[in-house]
């Protein structure tokens, strides 16, 4: 048990994704590329649940985000 798990508890494995999206009105106002981590799905494919989770994460900061690309990079931040 590591020090981080004492304070945060056991965490699910994370999957890192490269996400490209546009936002604003009109949507081409901003074009952003980010990487984000969400809980890893049991399968390695991008599922509808994965897409929904990524959308919810983006909508927290970019209310009008329209996702262009989602590319899986690796588990736990690795490529």
Given a cut of 80, is residue 9 above it in pLDDT? no
Residue 37 has what pLDDT?
73
3-state secondary structure of 54: helix
Residue 76 has what pLDDT?
54
pLDDT in tens, 18-41: 888 887 776 555 567 777 777 766
Helices (H), 1-79: 3-8, 48-59
Residue 78 has what pLDDT?
46
Contacts of 61 (CB under 8 A, 6+ apart): none
pLDDT in tens, 39-79: 766 656 778 888 888 888 888 888 888 888 888 886 654 44
């Amino acid at each position: 048990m590591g020090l981080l798990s004492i304070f945060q508890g056991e965490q699910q494995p994370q999957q890192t994704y490269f996400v490209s999206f546009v936002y604003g009105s009109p949507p081409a106002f901003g074009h952003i590329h980010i990487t984000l981590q969400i809980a890893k799905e049991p399968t390695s494919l991008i599922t509808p649940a994965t897409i929904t989770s990524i959308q919810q994460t983006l909508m927290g900061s970019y209310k009008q985000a329209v996702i262009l690309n989602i590319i899986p990079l690796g588990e736990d931040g690795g490529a």
